[in-house]
Amino acid sequence: MGEEVFLTKEGLEKLKAELHHLKTVRRKEVAARIKEAREYGDIVENSEYDDAKNEQAFVEGRIKDLESLLRNVKIIEEEDESPGGNHEVKIGSTVEIRDAESGEKFTYTLVGSAEADPSENKISNESPVGSAILGRKVGDKVEVEVPAGLIEYEILNICKKNRQ
């Protein structure tokens, strides 16, 4: 059995949708590209054929990866907690932190690594900031090792994951 993969319900649905799309749409598209490229003649020096076969390998690899992830999913249960409570940061928590030096504030949702997306402020529990704040409470200060040195953050607020 593989390592547990922590996902929110939303993250699980996204991965299932991606897997469905790959199996039902992308496979057919790639197969059509391969068939079309074969019609160009000799496949030895056929760049269209090579590109299509590379894309097929990528799609099949991603399908295999997603199926493996989905076999080991542990759903992050959202708790009915109010903002600012005295609870700990858990996977699924949305956390507001402040850089102790600059005063800049950041809000992150802590998720499993398969669901992490910094562009959506979703950070992995395995990332430097994520692992530092996991299990901490409002008012706690944590130090995070970054290439430029140590950064100290203070946890300002913890609330349940925002519902979309």
Predicted confidence band of residue 78 (pLDDT cuts 50, 70, 90): low
Which amino acid is located at 132 in the chain? A
**Cα–Cα distance list, 49 to 39, 57, 58 (Å):** 9, 12, 14
In whole angstroms, give the CA distance from residue 55 to residue 48. 11
Task: Say whether pLDDT at 164 is over 50.
Answer: no
Q: Which long-range contacts (C-beta less than 8 Å, at least 24 apart) are formed by 74-79? A: 74/4, 74/5, 74/6, 74/7, 75/7, 75/8, 75/9, 75/12, 76/6, 76/7, 76/8, 76/9, 76/111, 76/112, 76/161, 78/8, 78/160, 78/161, 78/163, 79/160
pLDDT surpassing 70 at residue 162 = no
Query: What is d(CA 90, CA 92) in angstroms, rounded to the nearest whole number?
Result: 6
User: What pLDDT does residue 46 have?
Assistant: 78
pLDDT of residue 8: 84
Cα Rg of the chain, angstroms:
21
Return the residue matching tokens 């800049």.
104
Query: In sequence order, what are the residues at sequence separation of 6 or more whose Cβ sits closer than 8 angstroms to the Cβ of residue 50?
Result: none
% of the chain exceeding 70 in pLDDT: 90
* pTM for the predicted model, two decimal places: 0.70
Quote the percentage of the chain above a pLDDT of 90: 62
pLDDT in tens, 21-55: 999 999 999 999 999 888 877 777 778 888 999 99
* Residue 78, φ and ψ in degrees, nearest 5: -80, 135
pLDDT band with cut points at 50, 70 and 90 for residue 117: very high
Determine the pLDDT at residue 107.
96
What does the mean pLDDT of the chain come to? 87
What is the pLDDT confidence band of residue 79, given thresholds at 50, 70 and 90? low
> Which residue ranges form the domains of the chain, and what is each CATH number?
5-75 (1.10.287.180), 94-159 (3.10.50.30)
Residue 125: how many other CB atoms lie within 10 Å: 22
Angle among Cα 127, 77, 134 to the nearest 5 degrees reads 30
Query: What confidence category does residue 163 fall into, taking pLDDT thresholds of 50, 70 and 90?
Result: very low
Q: How confident is the model at residue 84 (pLDDT cuts 50, 70, 90)?
A: very low
